């Protein structure tokens, strides 16, 4: 627990709040995606082992969203924590960071030193460019809600990776400064003259020199931090640009397979299957259809080259449980329980963008009623 009544802790929290309101808030642009992602992260920070289904339930019940498991998985993938193993590594690291933060802000130097080592070392099997500081920040606020005396968590929810890291580093510098954990190194001047007439002005000069060295060190540190933040903002921009391209691509193919446009992707599968069957039976197709069939082949090639693939095989018969068809549209009698086994026929294949493992449309299955 953080002792927020302690004078030094209160000073740290005050300076952190001031830094947030004066340095970061004016630069923030409210981006709904960050807010949703960070709320989802807060649920994961409360329970590291939360499944996507549980996260969706919590997001809906707490914040009145209308999310499903697929949407949670999509967000986790977009924020580079889709792999359960890597996600757990990051969350475990963030939990350890938060524990060290508790000791550091309360004035324990050993905790601060461990905190410094942890924040500078790579996290598990993550991409070297991955920025884990959003999760670290949220973990700190989740584990120690008493530090949020100024309701800064609402601003934290609007932070992307680069600004989250800047805020995190500012917090570290403030803790270091208030508790005096690190002192700036000052080069001693050994050429001091002993002339009594020059002793006083020399001491003043030395004092001024020390002040300038400290100020220079601080400015160099701020310049380095700013340059790093600019690089990370550029990386974030490039990631967001790529995500936008993926989103537009998935929207386009999702529309193609919507009811409004006659489920074109499904129809292409059906036409291709029927044409192959006719050719296999040596049926001679009218020459007038050749142009249409060429167009079907070209459209099919375009879809395949775009890495848009069917999830299931149309007309396939499967025995499934409720969990097996969690991502499907099901038409049939309700399942009695999770172990109830039913026979279904695939009536619509469902589609996914294979490159990013994003589901574009759900497969549709219909219960097969057998007379026993």
The pLDDT tens digits for 314-331 are 889 999 998 888 888 999
Phi, psi of 71 (to 5 degrees): -65, -40
Residue 188 pLDDT > 50: no
Query: Per-residue pLDDT tens for 17-31?
Result: 988 888 666 556 555
Burial class (CB within 10 angstroms; exposed 0-12, middle 13-18, buried 19+) of 120: exposed
**Residues whose CB falls within 8 Å of the CB of residue 359, separated by 6 or more in sequence, listed in order:** 70, 311, 327, 350, 351, 352
Residue 190 pLDDT > 70: no
Mean pLDDT of the chain: 84
CB atoms within 10 A of CB 75: 20
**Residues whose CB falls within 8 Å of the CB of residue 47, separated by 6 or more in sequence, listed in order:** 54
34-42 average pLDDT score = 93
Phi, psi of 318 (to 5 degrees): -135, 150
Using DSSP's 3-state secondary structure scheme, residue 148 falls into coil
Q: How far apart are CA 318 and CA 191, in angstroms?
A: 89
DSSP H helices in 129-195: 133-143, 153-156, 161-179
pLDDT bracket for residue 32 (50, 70, 90) = low
pLDDT bracket for residue 114 (50, 70, 90) = very high
Query: Per-residue pLDDT tens for 75-100?
Result: 998 888 988 999 999 999 999 999 99
Q: How far apart are CA 269 and CA 353, in angstroms?
A: 16
User: Which element (helix H / strand E) includes 204?
Assistant: helix 196-256
User: Which element (helix H / strand E) includes 106?
Assistant: none
Half-sphere exposure of 24 (CA within 13 A, CB side): 28
Distance of CA 336 to the CA centre of its chain: 36
Query: Per-residue pLDDT tens for 133-157?
Result: 999 999 999 999 999 999 999 889 9
54-60 average pLDDT score = 94
pLDDT bracket for residue 8 (50, 70, 90) = very high
Residue 305 pLDDT > 80: yes
Q: How far apart are CA 102 and CA 115, in angstroms?
A: 10
Residue 199 pLDDT > 60: no
Query: What was the pLDDT predicted at 183?
Result: 44
């Amino acid at each position: 627990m953080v002792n927020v009544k302690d004078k030094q802790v209160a000073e740290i929290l005050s300076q952190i709040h001031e830094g947030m309101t004066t340095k970061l808030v004016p630069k923030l642009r409210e981006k709904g995606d960050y807010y949703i992602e960070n709320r989802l992260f807060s649920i994961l920070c409360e329970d590291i082992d939360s499944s996507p289904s549980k996260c969706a339930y919590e997001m809906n019940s707490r914040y009145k969203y209308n999310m499903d498991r697929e949407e949670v998985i999509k967000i986790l993938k977009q924020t580079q924590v889709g792999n359960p193993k890597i996600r757990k590594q990051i969350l475990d690291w963030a939990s350890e960071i938060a524990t060290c933060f508790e000791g550091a802000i309360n004035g324990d130097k050993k905790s601060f030193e461990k905190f410094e080592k942890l924040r500078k070392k790579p996290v598990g099997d993550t991409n070297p460019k991955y920025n884990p500081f959003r999760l670290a920040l949220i973990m700190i606020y989740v584990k120690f809600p008493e530090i949020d005396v100024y309701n800064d968590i609402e601003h934290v929810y609007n932070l992307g990776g680069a600004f989250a890291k800047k805020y995190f580093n500012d917090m570290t510098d403030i803790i270091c400064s208030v508790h005096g954990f690190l002192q700036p190194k000052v080069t001693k001047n050994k050429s001091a003259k002993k002339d009594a007439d020059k002793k006083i002005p020399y001491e003043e000069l030395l004092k001024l020199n020390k002040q300038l060295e400290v100020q220079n060190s601080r400015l160099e540190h701020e310049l380095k931090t700013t340059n790093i933040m600019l690089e990370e903002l550029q990386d974030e921009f490039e990631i967001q640009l790529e995500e936008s391209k993926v989103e537009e691509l998935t929207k386009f193919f999702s529309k193609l397979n919507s009811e409004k446009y006659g489920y074109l992707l499904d129809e292409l599968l059906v036409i291709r299957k029927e044409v192959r069957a006719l050719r296999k039976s040596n049926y001679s197709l009218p020459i007038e259809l050749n142009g249409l069939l060429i167009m079907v082949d070209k459209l099919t090639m375009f879809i395949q080259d775009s890495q848009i693939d069917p999830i299931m095989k149309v007309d396939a018969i499967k025995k499934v449980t409720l969990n097996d068809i969690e991502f499907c549209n099901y038409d049939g009698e309700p399942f009695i329980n999770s172990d109830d086994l039913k026979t279904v026929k695939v009536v619509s294949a469902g589609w996914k963008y294979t490159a990013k493992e994003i589901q574009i449309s759900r497969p549709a299955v219909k219960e097969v009623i057998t007379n026993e």
